[in-house]
Structure 1
């Protein structure tokens, strides 16, 4: 008779809690952790069991991706990759090659171009892309996913003319004649470029994108994701998987992406719609696999494009305002909070994170204190000390992405700030010292999705893309245990799933990863470009083999 219990022994078992010493074994029964500890105790708890020797490998709870865009990630894996392109000419060469390789394709899509490729004062133009591919639409997402570079055919396909107005919080960049130049910023990119791609994508396309994202994450030990750009196309794709399989490859916590309309009634209507969809989804499927946890406010843009809301001007003198003004942001946040929707607040600039904390405080003032509120601020690239102190006082989670400060992508980021702020970004150490809860992620596909490389940057402040680069402010780095906690239990806490995930402890879901390199004992460089040796979801091995 085959036992339904498996003991995994001879391992370094990090439980998810940095304050707890690693265990040497754990047992799994019926998709749950039965016990974790020394081998004799685990054997006593397990009784008759099969045993698997893990040869001393590091085992942790499965990584919970703290900030992701699943459909975009899956789609981006098939796009022309531009993150390592050094010049406009190199971008043009890659686009021309992609067009020649697939002449029947109706459009050419690319991703992850960097502002560094442009000469000082130069901006992306359609003419640059027309020189490489003039006959079909070319749409290229910036590395940060906050702007789009498009050719003339794409502008025509999107229906952008001289009369097309700028949306709230965005800009269709125009020349002196009023014609669109091919550069769409913030909500203009979302509305026109992403809206157009949503229209031309089929259900089969979206299903393929989502499957690719799940597979890519499982390969590197990610067993849960926090979806940060959820909307109707995403919802339909996830429903199709749930209707077909009754489950997802791993649990996903979704935040519905709100649109700043400049009209409070419209903003509040969005909250009512999301709450209704959340309730209907939970009634139909439960929330074991897919949960609409809350809403996402994009309060500002990004530093590279000089659209992040800062307290002081950029080096070029610009001082843009936020995408969500306080008069709309605060009452909309209060409505979301009253509906039990968790706040996820995109705030890259120090002024935006100030607004984010104002929103949290307004929710507490109007709706009263609540233990399960767990608001979170995303990115926090340039943040003031007083904001960190407020976050600690209010129990607000800092959701941050080490891959965003890979030194290989920071040159332009530092240049546009141009002062001491260029050297004080991403202050992980200050959050830790203040006692702010931390959750780490990648924001894929704005950055590489691989968990081992993300962990490498957290441990070293060095580049996973260009090993010749010097570390960026290495005093910020995590200890291995603290970084692993932020990737697992910290992210589970931020998604309000810490009662079932993020720990290797009795009663928790048996969702774990066996790493190919041991971050607790090996040199961090051993992590680079590795896959998980084994990934398990609810006791089932879904990547690698025992």
Structure 2
């Protein structure tokens, strides 16, 4: 028997490419798009039974429809966990952070620990940094762990330092720092790989499988509500894999597909780094053999080449305003041979590079892969973030076919005060140059990097269209000449990430034969004022032909 067909009509259907005019109807049969076009043509494509019991028509009331959003850069378990944490992004002072922590403690006095997320560097006066003492003043006896807004550092209290076993003798890992006072004692501020090695590892050790299952469910649910039907995971590791395996073993599928990049840690030991690549390749093959790749694909590896501008840990060509000029976390000496090994194993390179020196290293890595392993059309290396990037790097990316993975929410004007202050020169006004990438012909994939920024796709799109703030709407736009046209932005949030993950033959378009991953929006970015997108959610989210979320319940 032929699978049932649903015809969605009376809509403005963006089919995935900015250059194409919207259609007014599309049809879904099973898990695939059957046709897209004018209503009569779609009905004909649906066959002779178009008016019969095997076909249903749904009137969308003129709504804007697009391929489902593919989150270009996400941290699924971290997002799901962050939704349970004390939310600090809106705090404008240390006192506000203290008050929120105290309120959380009072609401749950028996909690074994308190977790917070998204505090901003600009709550501190110039020259000041987070300290355990500031948290001890309100919560001295329960461990408190708080992720910075960018997830590259963690602020903890004295009780947290104690349970992690951090002392004067605790070493700084490569690419990280346990910040210490003049006596050599830890201050309660851990940067970069020190946050990963000590804080993340500790919290992972005390979380249960049930916790992690809940975190993943939180993330899937939150994303489906905002129209996301696929995600690019950028910090995959053993605990993540075990959590996904449990979900796949239970359900045989995921709520939507996930393309994962395994997070590499710079060890300073070339033999260990190369062994890590071999292990990831083996895990990739085992996962593909057991589950296929319809729902989960380990696509490649993630190198965190540098830190972040807010903490003055991003690798820059010229010093910060305070004179700091940190090295990259992965220096060329160690990064190039590991990149070549990963590339030879068919692992896609995802290269975190926020500073202009880090993105230079990233392109050197890609070029070395081409030199050693030869040119290859399916390489599709990608550079993540590119907040401060030189024009010569953009030109190299275009020449080498490297994708720019960028996040409009990272330049929300409400979170840029400290970012601009620590750069202190013309670089403070030339960041996030989306327009230069477009002009150079660099492939773009937009995402949010949640939970380092809000995960909601409509708010992300609003910033891409206006360069204004979705957090503090009184703020002026940051470099509004960079903005996208609505069609270009939607393409960069749908077909762009599909291309970046080798899925463009099945995802990112509403076209015959493509997987039926679709979002019906409550605002129309092509015709409505961009402000209509703010705080909106999906009216309807469809994954592989099935309704995964509806605002109507």
TM-score scaled by structure 2?
0.98
**Are the equivalent residues in 2 in contact too, given 1:71–1:209 (CA < 8 A)?**
yes
Partners of 2:72 and 2:405 within 8 A in 1:
yes
Q: Which residue of 1 aligns with 2:273?
A: 267
2:214 to 185, 208, 211: 208
Please say if residues 69 and 519 of structure 2, whose CA atoms lie closer than 8 Å, have aligned partners that are also in contact: yes
Q: Distance in 1 between matches of 2:445 and 2:132?
A: 38
- Please name the residue that 1:89 is paired with: 95
Structure 2 spans left out of the alignment, 5+ residues: none
Which residues in structure 2 correspond to 1:464-475 (within 5 Å)?
A: 464-475=470-481
Task: Tell me, in whole angstroms, the C-alpha distance in 1 between the residues paired with 2:28 and 2:311.
Answer: 49
Q: Which residue of 1 aligns with 2:243?
A: 237
Partner of 2:397: 391
Q: Once the 2 structures are TM-superposed, how far is the Cα of residue 404 of structure 1 from its aligned partner?
A: 0.2
TM-score, with length taken from structure 1: 0.99
| Matches for 1:104-503 after TM superposition, within 5 Å | 104-503=110-509
Q: Give the superposition deviation at 1:2.
A: 10
Q: Is 1:531 paired with 2:552?
A: no
Partner secondary structure for residue 171 of structure 1: strand
CA deviations on 1:410-460 (whole Å, 9 max, x unpaired) are 000000000000000000000000000000000000000000000000000
Distance 1:508 1:2 in 2: 18
- Provide the C-alpha distance between the structure 2 equivalents of 1:162 and 1:317, rounded to a whole number of angstroms: 27
Structure 1 residue 132: Cα displacement: 1.0
> Which residue of structure 2 lines up, in the alignment, with residue 7 of structure 1?
7
| Partners of 1:3 and 1:50 within 8 A in 2 | no
Matched residues in 1 for 2:247 and 2:2: separation?
A: 32
- The reply on whether 1:51 has 2:82 as its aligned counterpart is no
* Match in the other structure for 2:20: 20
Deviations 1:261-281 (A, max 9, x none): 011101101101100000000
Matched residues, number: 546
User: Which segments of structure 1 move beyond 3 Å, counting only runs of 4 or more?
Assistant: none
The answer to whether the 8 Å contact 2:3/2:29 transfers is no
Q: Report the alpha carbon displacement of residue 198 of structure 1 after superposing the two structures with TM.
A: 0.3
Separation in structure 2 between the aligned mates of residue 523 and residue 119 of structure 1, nearest angstrom: 37
3-state DSSP of counterpart to 2:538: coil
What CA distance in whole angstroms lies between the structure 2 residues aligned with 1:487 and 1:90? 34
Query: Aligned residue for 1:39?
Result: 39
State the alpha-carbon separation in 2 of the partners of residues 152 and 3 from structure 1. Answer: 61
Distance 1:3 1:303 in 2: 53
Give 1:50 deviation, angstroms. Answer: 1.4
- CA separation of 1:134 and 1:26: change in aligned 2, threshold 3 A: same
Alpha-carbon RMSD across the aligned residues, in angstroms, is 0.9
Distance 2:551 2:462 in 1: 24
Whether the 8 Å CA contact 1:15–1:23 is kept in 2: the answer is yes
What secondary structure, in the 3-state scheme, does the structure 2 residue paired with 1:272 have? helix
What's the CA shift string for 1:208-260, capped at 9, x where partnerless? Answer: 00000000000000000000000000000000000000000000000000000
* Aligned equivalents of 1:164, 1:61: Cα separation in 2: 49
Mapped to 2, the partners of 1:543 and 1:281 lie a distance apart of 28
CA distance in 2, matches of 1:139, 1:403: 24
Mark the runs of 5 or more structure 1 residues left unpaired by the alignment.
Answer: none
Q: Could you report, residue by residue, the CA deviation over 1:183-214 in whole angstroms, capped at 9, with x for unpaired residues?
A: 00000000100000000000000000000000
